[in-house]
């Protein structure tokens, strides 16, 4: 197939459809989102946590049009959330969720998929938790990452919530996984 006949697909560009189609309420459209940043809707007898952060470019500036998805499954809760960084002051994201439990001796974690301009493919990473030091020390995937870079996957405890920033480049560049 010649290059002139190739068409772009949704995974090849960020496009204006993300705000309109994937995060409409957040951007002021008058219909419901299929998912938002409150992953605890409908859950009872839980202790919710918040995860707050930002996505930074190589110059340390917050990116104002990234879309962050969180996916978690600890055997008890299968949760999904989605939020864009363009509507909050400081271009941050905040999710309300439940801290996952350890499964098969692994450290608790949440999968992250990051969509943003300039990427032809999504970026995949994980959020681990700073208050799970013992399980983090024995988690095979986390331990397979260079010691100097592991901290880029660990959310810092901050009161009842956690802070997790993602850096696309630079000395604090977040570890992203090839899937």
Instruction: Count other Cβ atoms within 10 Å, centred on residue 64.
Output: 17
Per-block mean pLDDT, blocks of 10 residues, the chain (179 long): 49 52 70 84 94 95 91 95 82 95 96 86 95 97 96 96 96 93
- Residue 64: partners with Cβ closer than 8 Å, 6 or more residues away: 85, 86, 91
CATH of the domain spanning 18-167, picked from 3.40.190.10, 1.20.1250.20, 3.40.50.720, 2.60.130.10? 2.60.130.10
Q: Which sequence spans correspond to the domains of the chain? A: 18-167
Please tell me the pTM assigned to this model: 0.85
Task: Assign 135 to helix, strand or coil.
Answer: helix
């Amino acid at each position: 197939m010649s290059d002139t006949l190739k068409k772009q697909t949704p995974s090849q560009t960020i496009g204006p459809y993300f705000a309109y189609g994937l995060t409409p309420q957040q951007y002021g459209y008058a219909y419901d989102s299929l998912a938002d940043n409150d992953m605890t809707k409908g859950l009872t007898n839980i202790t919710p946590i918040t995860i707050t952060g930002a996505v930074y470019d190589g110059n340390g500036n917050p990116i104002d049009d990234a879309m962050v998805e969180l996916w978690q499954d600890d055997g008890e809760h299968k949760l999904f959330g989605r939020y864009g960084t363009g509507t909050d002051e400081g271009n941050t994201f905040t999710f309300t969720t439940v801290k996952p439990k350890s499964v098969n001796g692994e450290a608790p974690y949440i999968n992250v998929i990051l969509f943003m301009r300039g990427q032809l493919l999504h970026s995949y990473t994980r959020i681990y938790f700073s208050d799970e030091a013992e399980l983090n020390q024995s988690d095979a995937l986390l331990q397979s990452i260079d010691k100097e870079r592991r901290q880029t996957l660990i959310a810092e405890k901050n009161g009842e919530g956690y802070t997790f920033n993602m850096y696309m480049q630079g000395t604090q560049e977040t570890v992203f996984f090839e899937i």
